[in-house]
């Protein structure tokens, strides 16, 4: 059974923790422990390649054009590159692609194949909370395709029931809604920000968005209600929160491919004849790309590649390991690293923002930003040590604070220890 309490922090050790992605974490841990860190990179490549192979298949069936499907899929893969991390949401991209493929297949052929989504949602709900997007997609399909409404509504009901088969039951179903409505997260966590189109990482999303508008405006075929609803809904999610850009990319590719093929047909004034070799060629291309990417995995320890010494506090961790148990105030982005490599020192906070009371995150930000009362917060939480990035305002403030001394410093991090027994008579928030 997955843990239900925050095991790694002294600020919220008994806070209820909904490990909505527990099955993904078990898979990652098994791969890392049994095969090695390089296998995690290979797994990432496999999931991404499979996702866009599924997207290509949907785009080819929608458009009948191998070239339109390839162009749309390549653009979608480029747009989604911002979030190609080894994180559980990779499985949401894959399952969302399968969901679109199943809906399109049922619209074209009917039958009971749509019911295969029911076990998929059971797995999806245990791997990542993005399953809620799939349920909304089924509801949209039922609302916009009257001929198939009964089948989609039945599948939606069964899929919702399947999504309850998690260790958290109805709380797991409500969790993604609750998180997306939490202003504290959306206003402070970078991945929940709206896209910054000045960033080169979001160029692909901008191009895909403009291509969608241009292709739909120029296509001789009218977009269906399902296509319009899908594009508008996914565009809204992506423009609200940049972490959702891949959802838009996966959804947009088949639609763009269909209208691109219609536009090309009108320009050429002749129909685009589907090639029976196109799917096979796509399979060969995808397999070749997968083999190439797997061979390109660094020969050195992949985990070291992903936790570079010029970004993470590797030397500071070595220092902390030699210390007695402390209560650390740490950088938010270093929390997971400290838990992994220095578990004997409980952290103030880590990247699992939903595993902490909102007040802890507010207090963390107040200290980080040197807001009035930040020193008192360190006292109230009985913080023994601070491990933080060098050169930051907090580090500079502690450098001249007589209550603190520099115990360790390196090119990345600085560790401060308090000089006095400050906790005497202090309460805990």
Q: What is the 3-state secondary structure (H, E, C) of the chain?
A: CCCCECCCECCCCCCECCCCCHHHHHHHHHHHHHCCHHHHHHHHHHHHHHHHHHHHHHHHHHHCCHHHHHHHHHHHHHHHHHHCCCCCHHHHHHHHHHHHHHHHHHHHHCCCHHHHHHHHHHHHHHHCCCHHHHHHHHHHHHHHCHHHHHHHHHHHHHHHHHHCCCCCCHHHHHHHHHHHCCHHHHHHCHHHCCCCCCCHHHHHHHHHHHHHHHHHHHCCCCCCHHHHHHHHHHHHHHHHCHHHHHHHHHHHHHHHHHHHHHHHHHHHCCCCCCCCCHHHHHHHHHHHHHHHHHHCCCCCCHHHHHCCCCCCCHHHHHHHHCCCCCCEEECHHHHHHHHHHCCCCCECCCCCHHHCCHHHHHHHHHHHCCCCCHHHHHHHCCCCEEEEECCCHHHHHHHCCCCEEEEEECCCEEEEEECCCCCCCCCCC
Model pLDDT, residue 428: 44
Within-domain flag for 13: no
Beta-strand relationship, 385-389 and 328-330: parallel
**Which tens digit of pLDDT belongs to each residue from 364-388?**
999 999 999 999 999 999 999 999 9
Which of 275, 295, 315 represents a domain boundary (last residue)?
Answer: 295
The answer to whether residues 241 and 374 belong to one domain is no
Within-domain flag for 98: yes
Q: Which residues contact 135 (CB under 8 A, 6 or more apart)?
A: 121, 156, 159, 160, 163
Model pLDDT, residue 79: 94
Q: Which residue has the higher pLDDT, 329 or 85?
A: 329
Q: Which residues contact 122 (CB under 8 A, 6 or more apart)?
A: 162, 163, 165
The answer to whether residues 389 and 359 belong to one domain is yes
**CA gyration radius for the chain?**
25
Within-domain flag for 172: yes
Model pLDDT, residue 269: 66
Task: Give the Cα separation of 252 and 212 in Å (integer).
Answer: 7
Kindly tell me if the per-residue pLDDT of 268 is higher than 80: no
Model pLDDT, residue 296: 46
Rounded (10°) CA dihedral 72, 78, 80, 86:
130
Within-domain flag for 212: yes
Percent above pLDDT 70 for the chain? 88
The answer to whether residues 241 and 285 belong to one domain is yes
Within-domain flag for 366: yes
Q: Taking Cα atoms as reference points, which of 306, 309, 305, 304 lies closest to residue 412? A: 309
* pLDDT classification of 297: cutoffs 50, 70, 90: very low
Which of 261, 295, 329 represents a domain boundary (last residue)?
Answer: 295
What token pair was written down for 167?
């260790």
Task: Give the Cα separation of 396 and 389 in Å (integer).
Answer: 10
The answer to whether residues 134 and 272 belong to one domain is yes
The answer to whether residues 289 and 349 belong to one domain is no
Model pLDDT, residue 5: 84
Model pLDDT, residue 293: 47
Within-domain flag for 287: yes
The answer to whether residues 81 and 204 belong to one domain is yes
The answer to whether residues 216 and 328 belong to one domain is no
Task: Give the Cα separation of 345 and 320 in Å (integer).
Answer: 8
Task: Give the Cα separation of 131 and 127 in Å (integer).
Answer: 9
Beta-ladder partners of 5: 16
* pLDDT classification of 422: cutoffs 50, 70, 90: low
Within-domain flag for 10: no
Model pLDDT, residue 425: 45
**Which tens digit of pLDDT belongs to each residue from 213-231?**
999 999 899 999 999 999 9
The answer to whether residues 282 and 398 belong to one domain is no
Q: Taking Cα atoms as reference points, which of 360, 322, 319, 317 lies closest to residue 340? A: 317
Split into its structural domains, the chain has a count of 2
Task: Give the Cα separation of 200 and 192 in Å (integer).
Answer: 18
The answer to whether residues 348 and 283 belong to one domain is no
Which range marks the domain in which residue 406 is found? 307-418
- Work out the average pLDDT over 396-411: 94
Half-sphere exposure of 333 (CA within 13 A, CB side): 12
Q: Is the dihedral of CA 150, 124, 306, 51 positive or negative?
A: negative
Kindly tell me if the per-residue pLDDT of 20 is higher than 60: yes
Model pLDDT, residue 408: 95
Q: Taking Cα atoms as reference points, which of 39, 69, 41 lies closest to residue 53? A: 69
């Amino acid at each position: 059974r997955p843990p239900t309490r925050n095991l790694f922090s002294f600020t919220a050790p008994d806070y209820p923790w909904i490990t909505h992605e527990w099955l993904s974490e078990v898979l990652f841990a098994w791969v890392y422990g049994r095969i090695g860190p390089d296998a995690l990179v290979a797994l990432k490549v496999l999931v991404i390649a499979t996702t866009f192979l599924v997207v290509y298949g949907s785009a080819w069936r929608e458009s009948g054009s191998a070239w339109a499907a390839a162009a749309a899929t390549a653009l979608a893969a480029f747009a989604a590159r911002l979030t190609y991390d080894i994180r559980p949401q990779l499985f949401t991209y894959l399952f969302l692609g399968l969901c679109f493929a199943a809906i399109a297949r049922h619209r074209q052929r009917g039958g009971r194949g749509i019911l295969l989504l029911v076990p998929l949602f059971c797995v999806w709900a245990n791997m990542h909370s993005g399953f809620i997007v799939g349920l909304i997609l089924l509801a949209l399909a039922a609302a916009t395709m009257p001929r198939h409404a009964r089948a989609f509504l039945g599948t939606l009901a069964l899929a919702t029931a399947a999504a309850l088969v998690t260790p958290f039951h109805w709380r797991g179903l409500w969790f993604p809604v609750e998180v997306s409505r939490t202003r504290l997260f959306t206003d402070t966590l970078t991945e929940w920000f709206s896209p910054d189109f000045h960033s080169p990482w979001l160029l692909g999303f901008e191009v895909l968005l403009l291509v969608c508008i241009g292709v739909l405006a120029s296509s001789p075929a009218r977009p269906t209600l399902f296509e319009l609803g899908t594009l508008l809904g996914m565009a809204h999610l992506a423009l609200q929160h940049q972490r959702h850009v891949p959802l838009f990319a996966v959804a947009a590719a088949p639609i763009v491919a269909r209208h691109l093929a219609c536009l090309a047909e009108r320009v050429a004034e002749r129909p685009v004849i589907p090639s029976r070799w196109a799917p096979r060629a796509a399979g060969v291309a995808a397999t070749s790309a997968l083999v190439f990417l797997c061979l390109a995995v660094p020969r050195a320890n992949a985990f070291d590649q992903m936790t570079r010494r010029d970004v993470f506090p590797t030397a500071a961790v070595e220092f902390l390991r030699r210390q007695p148990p402390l209560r650390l105030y740490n950088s938010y982005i270093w929390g997971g690293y400290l838990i992994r490599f220095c578990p004997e020192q409980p952290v103030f906070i880590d990247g699992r923002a939903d595993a902490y009371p909102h007040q802890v995150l507010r207090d963390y930000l107040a200290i980080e930003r040197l807001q009035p009362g930040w020193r008192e917060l360190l006292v109230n939480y009985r913080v023994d040590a601070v491990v933080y990035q060098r050169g930051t305002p907090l580090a500079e403030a502690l450098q001249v604070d007589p209550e603190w001394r520099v115990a360790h410093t390196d090119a990345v991090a600085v560790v401060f220890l308090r000089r006095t027994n400050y906790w005497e008579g202090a309460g805990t928030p």
